[in-house]
Structure 1
Amino acid sequence: MLKPNFRFTHYDLHEQRAGTVIEVALNAVNNVRLMTGPNYQRFTEVLDFRYIGGVAKKSPIRLAIPESGRWHLIVDMEGHHGLAESAVKVIAAPAGQKHAS
C-alpha cells in the first residue's frame, strides 16, 4: 500500500458539530488540511482527496467545521523545508447560534 512520501502529523478530531472552530498553532510554514474520515482514508492511500485549508503562513490559523461529523486534521510538510511543531485547540461552536432573518 502506498503512503504519502512526506512527513505529517495527524489529529483525530472525533465527532464535531458544524460551526466548531479548530485553531492550529505552528512554528513554521506548513500545510494545514481539515478533512472528513473518507477523505483522510484517501489521503493515506495517496488518492485524490478534498480538504479545507492549505498553506498556513501565519499562526495560529483557524478553520471552521462546515458540517457535523467525524473530522481529521493533518499538518504536513509537502512543499516545505520540514515538519512544523503543531498544537491544536478545539473551540466549541457557540450554543444557539443566531441565524440571519
Structure 2
Amino acid sequence: MNFKYGDGNYNEGDVIVVKLDKQANVILLDPTNFSNFKNGRKYSYYGGLAKVSPFEIIVPRTGHWYLVVNLGGYAGTVNYSVSVISNS
C-alpha cells in the first residue's frame, strides 16, 4: 500500500488541519497502531475519509502520533499540507 506520513509530538486537544487537493484517507495513529498499519495487522485510528478540505482531527491524548495520508489502494497521488492549532 502506498501512503505518506509524518509524525510528531502533540498535546491533547491540538487540532491537526490537513488541506488536500483531492479526497483521501487521513488517519492519526499512535506508535503501536502505526506499526500494525504498516504490517497489515488490525489497527485503530482517528480520522477517516476526508471528502472535504480542510480536514481536521482533534488529538485525543498527549503523545507521539503518526499522520497517514493515502488513497486507499487507488492509483494516483494526493498533494496535501498539514498545520497544527495548538491547545496550549
Whether TM exceeds 0.5 here: the answer is: yes
Give identity over the alignment, percent: 33
1:25 CA displacement = 0.6
User: What are structure 1's unaligned runs of at least 5 residues?
Assistant: 1-5, 96-101
- Give the aligned length: 88
Structure-2 residue corresponding to 1:21? 15
- Mapped contact 1:29–1:80 kept (Cα < 8 A): no
Q: Per-residue displacement from partner, 1:9-31 (whole Å, max 9, x unpaired)? A: 1111x221100000001001110
Structure-2 residue corresponding to 1:58? 52
Q: Per-residue displacement from partner, 1:37-60 (whole Å, max 9, x unpaired)? A: 111011111111000111100000
Deviates more, 1:28-37 or 1:80-89: 80-89
Q: Which is bigger in relative contact order (C-alpha 8 A, separation at least 6)?
A: 2
Match of 2:4 among 2, 6, 9: 9
Runs of 4+ in 1 over 6 A off after TM superposition: none
1:81 CA displacement = 4.5
Partners of 2:45 and 2:67 in 1: how far apart?
Answer: 9
Query: Normalising by the residue count of structure 1, what TM-score does the alignment of the two structures yield?
Result: 0.81
Query: Normalising by the residue count of structure 2, what TM-score does the alignment of the two structures yield?
Result: 0.93
RMSD: 1.2
